[in-house]
Amino acid sequence: MDIDPTGNWDLTYMFLAGCGQSAGTATDTFTVTLTPDGYAVSASGASTTGTLLCTPDSCKLSAVFAWSDASMQYQESANMVLDADDNITGNGTVYATDGTTACNLVFTVTGSRS
């Protein structure tokens, strides 16, 4: 039987320096639910598309999260592995734009099921 990835996953992002910013960290949470069509991933305040495929040992999440604030729009592309020990690792980029200029921030991510 495949592992069950449902629940909340707490993440710590480690961003490389770029876009005029120093290296830094950020935290977030996403939720995995089981729907009639398979697993669904959601994050508060973000639209999400992606695929979560599972084997008996792990699940692979390839997802895009999009959100905005008062002055910027963001699009995160991430590849993450959720393992049978309730840990998550991965990497990706965040594309950020104010409508005139844009840049990409590179990150790695670790975390666990909460």
**pLDDT, tens digit, 9 for 90 and up, residues 29-81:** 999 999 998 899 999 999 999 889 999 999 999 999 999 999 999 999 999 99
| pLDDT for res 5 | 94
Residue type, 57: D
Q: What are the sequence ranges of the domains in the chain?
A: 7-108
Give the whole-number percent of the chain exceeding pLDDT 90: 90
pTM exceeding 0.85? yes
Name the token pair of 38.
């398979």
pLDDT band at 11 (very low <50, low <70, confident <90, very high): very high
Residue 13 has pLDDT above 90, yes or no: yes
